[in-house]
Chain A
Amino acid sequence: MNFQLSDLATLTPHMVLVGTALLVLMVEAFGHGNRRPEATWISLLGIVIAAATTGMVCHENSVGFSGMLAADGYTAFFYVIIYVVGALTMLISADYLKSERREHGEYHALVLLAMVGMMLMAGATHLMLFFLALETMSIAIYALEGVESCFKYFLLGAFASGFMLYGIALVYASVGTTQIHAIMEQLATVKGIGESPLLLAGVALIAVGFLFKVAAFPFHSWTPDVYQGAPTSVTAFMATGVKAAVFAAFFRIFTIAFPATAPIMTSAFWVIAVATMTMGNFAAIAQTDLKRMLAYSSIAHAGYLMVGIITATPEAGVGMLFYLLTYAFMNIGAFACIIMVSKQGEGRTNLDDLSGLGFKYPLLGAALTIFMFSMAGLPPTAGFIGKFLLFKAAINEGYIWLAVLGVLNSAASVYFYLRVIVYLYFKPRPEDAPTGLRAGSAITIATAIAVGVILVLGVLPGAVVRLAEAAVTVF
């Protein structure tokens, strides 16, 4: 292993974010009073600077640190998704934290550090770096959550990390390396190693770790409780950021390192994908709490994204990239609406609370409606284009049944997404309903951006599709 200065350059965005996190902590430690509204703006500035440096350090097919950290187009695309997630999270957190009286700098620092973990995960081309990144992200997220959900997530997450590490060890035992390109070469050159039980066990255990983190069936059971228990802004951050980062690594590692095991793993993933979407959608139908409903819906979305993992072609990569980007906007947007509607200190956000709200607050109603249509995959929203690209890739590889089951699931999901709209517009507002929204300027801006992006990408997806196509040339 030899380090060059140029390797360090690939870490510029990460260092900017870590620096910002430290700065926020300093402000927290030495500032006056115990409220830190400026932490939001400092963090946002840090994200913007990190984003500006990304273009300089990410080149085509460049890999730093002896093949551990990629700085290619694929990585850059995920960096952008993570910046989007981070920035929107900061914006929707500002007013939320203020009204919940939790305006502490540590919150922002933890979000920034979790982002660094996510970015390293998206760029990792080495199983060890990937694992470290996963833990960096996870620990920051554990700390962001409330006590009860934190403990649940932590216990199960630690268990999953154990599986993952054990899997990495078994893979190392059978091929003698943990660099993903080297693993691919080993599997391609050494005959029969692809079928060795040791390697397969290792790959399966790694897959279990991934499936846990993306909340795929049957490793999803933590999701509803954790999503409901965590502060809403953290839920939004987790649901989008963690999902993007884990799918980034999932796709890269399984497409590059383990195509040799695909014949066996694909059939398992096929069943898991269908089970995940079906379970997620049908459980979501039964929910009356908005956050729980969105938790199950995020399980279903993980199922759709698994279609990309199964298909494992660059075309599927395009679909996943587009999907995850738009998912960030629509999901954070939906959670932003929940924050605006919910009351201070109240964990529960019942569907009933939405009754008649659409006509009382037309802009909020329109925004939430657009998010729901986008999640259901209806044109002309970006959610439709994402699903279209994913299923298109699957059909191109001959996974017609998978696509059929996927779209039928989509149709079932329409029921509970529409139910939100039923409450918003079709039910009368109760006489004694409390009025007022928790809508400050920051959260309003975040929601408006999300609505704008979803509509623009829904009508003019061409430019982003081209970027995604350029990003997946590494595969």
Chain B
Amino acid sequence: MSYILSTLIFIPLLGAVALLFMNKKSTGLIKGWAFAGAMVNLAMSLPLWWQFESANPGMQFVEKMAWVPSLGINYHLGIDGISILLVLLTTFLSVICIMASFTVDKRIKEYMFFFLFLETGMIGALTSLDLFLFYIFWEVMLIPMYFLIGVWGGKDRIYAAVKFFIFTMVGSLLMLVAILVLYFMNINAGNEATFSIIELYNLNLAPNAQFWLFAAFCLAFAIKVPMFPVHTWLADAHTQAPTAGSVILAGVLLKMGTYGFLRFAMPLFPNAVEQFTPFMMTLAVIGIIYGALVAMVQKDIKRLVAYSSVSHLGYVMLGIFALNAQGVVGGLYQSLNHGISTGALFLLVGVIYERRHTRMISDFGGIAKVMPCYAAIFMIIMMSSIGLPGLNGFVGEFLIMLGAFMASKVAAAFAASGVILAAAYMLWMYRRVFFGELDKEENKELKDLNGLEWAYLLPMVFFAFWMGVYPASFLNKMEPTIEQWLVQVEQKRVACAELGEQSKSLAMILNEDAD
């Protein structure tokens, strides 16, 4: 058994705990330590990339230990083609975020503590194969993010932090009830008590029994994604969060939602997915267009990027619910792209905010003249976000549109309009910020990118190109898993459909067999 995943989970936690014992005045040591911790974790995660057997669609690097044996709870980890790249994205973005946080001047020790703690939660959630363990990590992620927004955020940070927390809590608590119902349905079917997702995949439930269970999982993940109409926490959280908080929120935390659909909600309840698909696709398309339209009218650059996230995640959901190889692979690929391009956009917004302490579009204009390198990088990243061929966004969007077109031509047609809108709001914003007259006095003295900013922006640009020019190196890793995933979902759907509708409610089934 390899312990590489446990190592990835616990290195940041150990690093975070060690930080607590450092003198808060030695900021250099604290920054260095946190950076080293994240770097070590990134280095430790690289073997995953090489040792991962791309052709093997199953779980790899599996670890399993009994945790609470009487309840069938295990410490069970593993990754497959769905999660490996998300784990790598997490370790990569954590390093970038910690570099981008070197300029934080307030309570750096606690800041770095929460950041490393957050990394533990994220990697844990992405690698858990036990629903109980997953739930723990899923909730644990909330705590550091809550503090990052609440302590280091902007003016309305308290409102944003609480809203973020409660929205997510409502969804995840209902999911907890669904997890327990599923657990007992599995026991009542004559199986051993288990929270293992691998074993629960084999439980065939009648289609109408799946409906409410899927609804509960779906709500939890849809809030996290976030899908229209439960997206309202996102704009506040993003706008108020510190730069690195926004990056990690967009880059990884939102992906937890799409990951949850792929790992849990959809393979567990395929018949409910079938029923929900038109509804979910409609919401996804509404999200794409609505997010883009709202982004267009924003005055604050960061808020604009936040709403563009709603639009982008709409594409991801559209691809996933197309339920064909192109759509699902595209959705997963777009999740990664969004982590790179939107993450980088938030970093870029942070760069200008640190110089001017404002993010209002109207406060800028013509700054390409004083910050040419910044303008160039911004242009590349913006193009990757819009989906210019040759950059990463194009590959994901193209695959999604292909998949969506095969599933529903109407949805694809509407979604395509979102691409045009994306170009509109991004380019319009870019023109107002970077071109035109350099008429504000304060902007005339702006300095171009410094060394640190280059250091954390260049890797992002590098990936934007790599993922755009040679996507095969990434797609190879995910395709076998997704193909098997689709087969599994379809087989299970057929098997469950044969069971027919059951006449009893969930409560009656549980109650009866318990007696």
Within 8 A of A (CB), among B177-211: 177, 180-181, 183-184
A404:B177 contact, CB within 8 angstroms: yes
Minimum Cβ distance to chain B for residue A362 (Å): 8
Residue-by-residue, is B325-339 near A (CB-CB < 8 Å gives 1, otherwise 0)?
A: 000000000000000
The reply on B89 being an interface residue by CB < 8 A is no
Q: How far is B176's CA from A392's CA once the two chains are assembled, in angstroms?
A: 10
The reply on A156 being an interface residue by CB < 8 A is no
With contacts A397-B511, A398-B507, A401-B507 taken as known, whether A418 is within 8 angstroms of B70 at the C-beta atoms is no
Within 8 A of B (CB), among A397-427: 397-401, 403-404, 407-408, 410-411, 414-415, 418-419, 421-422, 425-426
Chain A interface, >50% SS class: helix
A415 nearest in chain B by CB position: B166
Q: How far is B98's CA from A458's CA once the two chains are assembled, in angstroms?
A: 29
B-side contacts of A388, CB under 8 Å: 176
B166:A396 contact, CB within 8 angstroms: no
Q: How far is B510's CA from A313's CA once the two chains are assembled, in angstroms?
A: 14
A-side contacts of B183, CB under 8 Å: 392
Q: How far is B463's CA from A362's CA once the two chains are assembled, in angstroms?
A: 40
The reply on B18 being an interface residue by CB < 8 A is no
Minimum Cβ distance to chain B for residue A176 (Å): 30
With contacts A379-B135, A418-B162 taken as known, whether A396 is within 8 angstroms of B514 at the C-beta atoms is yes
Query: A411, A415, A425: which has the most chain B beta carbons within 10 Å?
Result: A411
Interface residues on B, range: 35 or more
A418:B510 contact, CB within 8 angstroms: no
A403:B180 contact, CB within 8 angstroms: yes
B151:A425 contact, CB within 8 angstroms: yes
A462 in complex: contacting residue of B69, B107, B147, B511, CB < 8 Å: B69
A-side contacts of B508, CB under 8 Å: 398
A408:B147 contact, CB within 8 angstroms: no
Spot the interface stretch: B167-175, B316-324, B366-374, B481-489: B167-175
Q: How far is B188's CA from A395's CA once the two chains are assembled, in angstroms?
A: 12
Q: How far is B436's CA from A454's CA once the two chains are assembled, in angstroms?
A: 60
A414:B514 contact, CB within 8 angstroms: no
B136:A380 contact, CB within 8 angstroms: yes
A395:B184 contact, CB within 8 angstroms: yes
A392 in complex: contacting residue of B67, B151, B158, B180, CB < 8 Å: B180
A-side contacts of B161, CB under 8 Å: 422, 426
A378:B510 contact, CB within 8 angstroms: no
Query: A379, A395, A426: which has the most chain B beta carbons within 10 Å?
Result: A395
The reply on A469 being an interface residue by CB < 8 A is yes
A408:B173 contact, CB within 8 angstroms: yes
Q: How far is B507's CA from A407's CA once the two chains are assembled, in angstroms?
A: 17
A407:B70 contact, CB within 8 angstroms: no
Minimum Cβ distance to chain A for residue B188 (Å): 9
Residue-by-residue, is B138-153 near A (CB-CB < 8 Å gives 1, otherwise 0)?
A: 0110110011001100
Minimum Cβ distance to chain B for residue A175 (Å): 25
B166:A380 contact, CB within 8 angstroms: no
Q: How far is B142's CA from A380's CA once the two chains are assembled, in angstroms?
A: 12
A425:B147 contact, CB within 8 angstroms: yes
B181:A400 contact, CB within 8 angstroms: yes
Task: Tally the A-B contacts, defined by beta carbons under 8 Å.
Answer: 99
B70:A395 contact, CB within 8 angstroms: no
The reply on B157 being an interface residue by CB < 8 A is yes
With contacts A373-B143, A380-B136, A422-B162 taken as known, whether A411 is within 8 angstroms of B173 at the C-beta atoms is yes
B169:A395 contact, CB within 8 angstroms: no
With contacts A425-B147, A426-B161 taken as known, whether A398 is within 8 angstroms of B139 at the C-beta atoms is no
Minimum Cβ distance to chain B for residue A235 (Å): 27
With contacts A379-B135, A425-B151, A465-B71 taken as known, whether A407 is within 8 angstroms of B174 at the C-beta atoms is yes
A-side contacts of B184, CB under 8 Å: 395-396
Q: How far is B152's CA from A425's CA once the two chains are assembled, in angstroms?
A: 10
The reply on A391 being an interface residue by CB < 8 A is yes
Minimum Cβ distance to chain A for residue B110 (Å): 8
B-side contacts of A400, CB under 8 Å: 177, 181, 506-507, 510
B67 nearest in chain A by CB position: A462
A426:B514 contact, CB within 8 angstroms: no
The reply on A259 being an interface residue by CB < 8 A is no
A-side contacts of B142, CB under 8 Å: 378
A410:B151 contact, CB within 8 angstroms: no
A422:B158 contact, CB within 8 angstroms: yes
Q: How far is B71's CA from A94's CA once the two chains are assembled, in angstroms?
A: 41
Query: A396, A399, A415: which has the most chain B beta carbons within 10 Å?
Result: A396
A395:B151 contact, CB within 8 angstroms: no
With contacts A400-B177, A407-B177 taken as known, whether A414 is within 8 angstroms of B71 at the C-beta atoms is no
Q: How far is B141's CA from A379's CA once the two chains are assembled, in angstroms?
A: 10
A-side contacts of B506, CB under 8 Å: 398, 400
The reply on A461 being an interface residue by CB < 8 A is yes
The reply on B165 being an interface residue by CB < 8 A is yes
B135:A414 contact, CB within 8 angstroms: no
With contacts A359-B107, A400-B510, A425-B147 taken as known, whether A391 is within 8 angstroms of B140 at the C-beta atoms is no
The reply on A191 being an interface residue by CB < 8 A is no
The reply on A466 being an interface residue by CB < 8 A is yes
A411:B71 contact, CB within 8 angstroms: no
A-side contacts of B143, CB under 8 Å: 373, 378
Q: How far is B152's CA from A426's CA once the two chains are assembled, in angstroms?
A: 9
B180:A425 contact, CB within 8 angstroms: no
With contacts A379-B140, A404-B177 taken as known, whether A465 is within 8 angstroms of B68 at the C-beta atoms is yes
Minimum Cβ distance to chain A for residue B217 (Å): 14
B135 nearest in chain A by CB position: A379
B173:A415 contact, CB within 8 angstroms: no
With contacts A359-B107, A400-B181 taken as known, whether A466 is within 8 angstroms of B70 at the C-beta atoms is yes
B176:A397 contact, CB within 8 angstroms: no
B107:A461 contact, CB within 8 angstroms: no
Query: A388, A398, A403: which has the most chain B beta carbons within 10 Å?
Result: A398
A-side contacts of B512, CB under 8 Å: 398
B-side contacts of A407, CB under 8 Å: 173-174, 176-177
A-side contacts of B150, CB under 8 Å: 421-422, 425-426
A404 in complex: contacting residue of B157, B174, B509, CB < 8 Å: B174
With contacts A391-B180, A426-B157 taken as known, whether A415 is within 8 angstroms of B162 at the C-beta atoms is yes
Q: How far is B110's CA from A429's CA once the two chains are assembled, in angstroms?
A: 17
Within 8 A of B (CB), among A340-389: 359, 373, 378-380, 384, 388
With contacts A380-B136, A426-B158 taken as known, whether A395 is within 8 angstroms of B173 at the C-beta atoms is no
With contacts A411-B173, A462-B67 taken as known, whether A379 is within 8 angstroms of B136 at the C-beta atoms is yes
Chain A to chain B contacts (Cβ below 8 Å), 10 pairs: A379-B140, A384-B136, A388-B176, A398-B506, A407-B174, A421-B146, A421-B150, A422-B150, A426-B161, A462-B70
Given contacts A421-B150, A426-B158, 7 further A-B contacts (CB under 8 A): A384-B139, A395-B510, A398-B508, A407-B173, A410-B169, A462-B68, A466-B70
Smallest CB-CB A-B distances: 5 pairs: A398-B511, A407-B173, A398-B507, A398-B510, A379-B136
